[in-house]
Amino acid sequence: MSEKKRIYLTLETQRRELDSRIFFACMAANKNYSVVIGKKNSLYKYSPFFKKGLFIFKSMGLNNIKPSKILKKQGHRLFAWDEEGLTVSDPIVIKKRVMKECLENLDYIFTWGIKQKKILTNIFPEFSKKFQETGHPRFDLFYNEMKKFYKHNNGQSENNFILVTSKFPKGNPLPKGDVIPRFEKHYYNQVSSQQKLFSEYLKIIKKINYIYPDQKIFIRPHPAENIDVWRQQVKNIKNTFIITNNESTCNLISKCKFLICTNCTTGVEAYFLNKYSINYEIIEDKENDYDLVKATCETIKSEDELFNKISEIISKENLNKKLIQPYDQIKIKEHIANYDMKYFSVDKILNFLKDSLVDLSKDKRTNYLYFNIFKLVRYLKNIYYSKKNQNTYHYKLSSQKFDKIDLLDLQTKSENICNNLNLKKVNIKEIYPGLYRFECK
């Protein structure tokens, strides 16, 4: 199998990214690629032993400058997409999120849609040929043939709970200790509005529970939030649950009655999953006012309007995204190139990769002995670092973003994808601790 061209896909936030990586890996494996997925730090750690391949980064920020230089020196070709979809258009903020030093090391950057491509081209005109409009694999999972993907059992009956997704990492932050915020002015401008929104969310959750005491409410906090604060605040609210596991957020959305969010990509995902979503924008925040969210959600700006809407929704038995407004199809298409499901973004991305390098060598140190040595070393390091750093900001943030990849989960989801799309079976093997290779025979 060594003649297969190798692709490496990085993971940072498991519940947001894993499903789309599995989808990409299955599609690429069926086109004779070998794909390795895993936590980004693990990929960087074992990269000296990899056969040369094509690395796709999940972002182009400051933390990617050093690994991009190292990987390029090792002989890998580098590419990227922005997992956040670059929902902001402020040049100052974008220059903090997208570093020129990263762009210099990349062959191509795959944009969600034409709008992101235009924004990047305007800010970085010298790299205009590198920006390619492809769409994103997260939205391939909503393709017609994939409709059943998020219908596998998650232990809850469909449509029996309200899902609330929060995005207040600056209003309800993890204790940061001596960590200095990177965005400074932009950061501090958001603290006040997010604190107010967090208080407002607590207020409406209590009110929903008071009016509808038998209605279950699931809260999915942002992974950079302080979960302990959430637990303390809602511990006495009946039928209210904090969901902190790494189950796909899209899977939760697919099972909910409706969604409440504020300027969050979960509202966009709800649209594609045919779920009604409320963009609760009681506090104006122009820096986080995303037109893509407004194009796919119903924006509500007062508490009275919110509860009138909740009353209307709960009274509907057959609820779906068409309940209220005609959605802005043109604006959605500007943001998401694969919106109309005429093609898979994976196919477009692979088209840009097809002429890149082919390394006929093999991965190094993958035999039984080395694998178990690496596994033991990782186990001992994890024990040491968990005891030493368990109360630090970075350790808590990392543990809330990523737990561990389960091989059985990978196999189950891979089988689901391949069956839905009539693809060949994909073989999955853990080749280094936490790194999984997808290949077809």
Q: What is the pLDDT of residues 136-187, one digit of tens each?
A: 999 999 987 787 788 654 445 567 899 999 999 888 988 875 444 555 555 6
The domain defined by 156-332 folds into Rossmann fold (3.40.50)
Q: Which one has a higher pLDDT value, 127 or 317? A: 127
CATH architecture label of 5-142+339-439:
3-Layer(aba) Sandwich (3.40)
Does the structure show a pLDDT above 80 at 88?
Answer: no
Q: What is the pLDDT of residues 332-354, one digit of tens each?
A: 888 899 988 889 999 999 999 98
201 half-sphere exposure, CB direction, 13 A CA radius: 31
Question: Residue 319: pLDDT band by 50, 70, 90 thresholds?
Answer: low
Q: Do domains 5-142+339-439 and 156-332 have the same CATH topology?
A: yes
Does the structure show a pLDDT above 80 at 414?
Answer: yes
Q: Which own/partner contact pairs does 169-172 have at CB distance under 8 Å and 24+ positions apart?
A: 169/194, 169/222, 169/224, 169/225, 170/194, 171/195, 171/196, 171/197, 171/198, 172/198, 172/221, 172/225, 172/226, 172/229, 172/230
Are residues 165 and 249 in contact, defined by beta-carbon separation less than 8 angstroms? yes
Report, as an integer, the average pLDDT of 96-125: 92
Q: What is the pLDDT of residue 357?
A: 72
Q: What is the pLDDT of residues 177-187, one digit of tens each?
A: 544 455 555 56
Are residues 88 and 288 in contact, defined by beta-carbon separation less than 8 angstroms? yes
What is the rounded CA–CA span in Å between residue 424 and residue 102?
Answer: 36
Report, as an integer, the average pLDDT of 308-337: 75
Looking at residue 346, its amino acid is V
Report, as an integer, the average pLDDT of 384-391: 81
Q: What is the pLDDT of residue 208?
A: 97
| Model confidence, pTM | 0.92
Residue 89's alpha-carbon distances to 123, 176, 420, in angstroms, are 10, 27, 37
> What residue spans define the domains of the chain?
5-142+339-439, 156-332
Which residue is associated with the tokens 């950079």? 224
Does the structure show a pLDDT above 50 at 240?
Answer: yes
Q: What is the pLDDT of residues 35-55, one digit of tens each?
A: 999 999 999 999 999 999 999
Report, as an integer, the average pLDDT of 244-271: 92
